[in-house]
Amino acid sequence: MRQTRLYTPIPLTSNQAIELDDDNAHYVRTVLRLKKDAQIILFNGLGGEYFGIVTEVSRKSVRIVLEQWIERSVESPLQLSLGLGISRGDRMDLTVQKSVELGVHHISPLCTERCVVQFNAEKKSHRLTHWQKIAQHAAEQSGRTLLPQFTDITTLSDWLPQQQGLKVFLDPYANTSLAELSPIDNKVTLLTGPEGGFSSAERELATAAGFIAVRLGSRILRTETASLAALAAVQMLWGDFGASS
């Protein structure tokens, strides 16, 4: 039987009794329908996880006693950052969710010239919180004990100069493939565009910042397909997809 895992953004220690916040309490009580004495795994995204026992489930609170700390990691040895041109609705949500499952360490939502989604300050904060929750649930499901970090929503021009390692951006018209390249200091930064791709000016900006244009085969892929295919290819070439268990 699969063990229930739950992310909680609070400090955790062995032999600690905690009360879950309202969202997690609702999830445990209403969705999972856990009862008193049920077993559960809690983690806070900082490494490792805790085996716990549910001691109370009521309309007022859900309480858990943490017992054993488990030192466990399923992280890829490759430090993988993703600069993600913001796409619409479900496409962006899917890319965030699956990129966490595929082992990305940092996610940067980027406003580019051809983004069809427009943000004011309030909406930026709301969307970032929404994507962070998707990442938390993906980490729960995939067994990760380190939570990927998000940067604030920013522009491509502000983001480009800050990146490190092997820097690549996806371009269906490029001549270079990923297999021709190698990570730098075990780091890869992958830049992907929104639905409309990058403009010529953005391609020039990326190239000037040291990014290498690469293509994924001979077909033009949708933005969500391209992002996830590239992440899987990178993990197969240099990460843990090709490692034996």
Long-range contact pairs involving 236-240 (C-beta distance under 8 Å, separation at least 24): 237/178, 237/179, 238/78, 238/182, 238/183, 238/186, 238/188, 239/76, 239/77, 239/78, 239/80, 239/103, 240/76, 240/77, 240/78, 240/103
Q: Give residue 133's pLDDT.
A: 94
Q: Do residues 64 and 86 share a domain?
A: no
pLDDT string in tens for the chain (245-residue length): 567 899 999 999 999 999 999 999 999 999 999 999 999 999 999 999 999 999 999 988 999 999 989 998 899 999 999 999 998 878 999 999 999 999 999 999 999 988 877 777 778 889 999 999 999 999 999 999 999 999 999 999 999 999 999 999 999 889 999 999 999 999 999 999 888 889 999 999 999 999 999 999 888 888 899 999 999 999 999 999 976 54
- For tokens 């062995």, name the residue: 14
pTM of the model: 0.90
Residue 245 lies in a domain: no
Q: Is residue 142 part of a domain?
A: yes
- Most distant CA pair in the chain, distance: 60
Is 244 part of a structural domain of the chain? no
Considering the domain architecture, whether residues 133 and 35 belong to the same structural domain is answered as: no
Residue at 243 is within a domain: no
Q: Within 10 A of 78 (CB to CB), how many other CB atoms are there?
A: 21
Shared domain check, 45 and 86: no
- Tell whether 111 and 40 lie within a shared domain: no
Q: Do residues 145 and 234 both lie within one domain?
A: yes
Same domain, 18 and 90: no
Same-domain check for residues 52 and 89 = no
Domain end marker among 33, 48, 70: 70
CATH number at residue 213: 3.40.1280.10
Q: Which range of residues forms the domain containing residue 221?
A: 79-238
Convert 149-168 to b/e letters by CB count within 10 Å (16 or more is b).
Answer: ebeebeebeebbeebebbbb
Please indicate, yes or no, whether residues 124 and 106 belong to a single structural domain of this protein: yes
- In Å, what is the CA distance from 20 to each residue of 8, 62, 107, 124, 209? 8, 6, 27, 27, 45
The alpha carbon of residue 125 and the mean position of all alpha carbons in its chain are separated, in whole angstroms, by: 17
CA 109 to CA 194: how far, in whole Å? 10
Count of structural domains within the chain? 2
Which two tokens mark 13? 């220690």
- How is 37-65 classified by DSSP, letter by letter? T-EEEEE-SBS-EEEEEEEEE-SS-EEEE
Euclidean distance between CA atoms 233 and 23, whole angstroms: 36
Given its phi and psi angles, is residue 143 left (phi above 0), alpha (psi -120 to 50 degrees) or beta? left
Question: Between the CA atoms of 179, 93, 50 and 73, what dihedral angle is there, to the nearest 10 degrees?
Answer: 0
Q: What CATH number does the domain containing 48 carry? A: 2.40.240.20
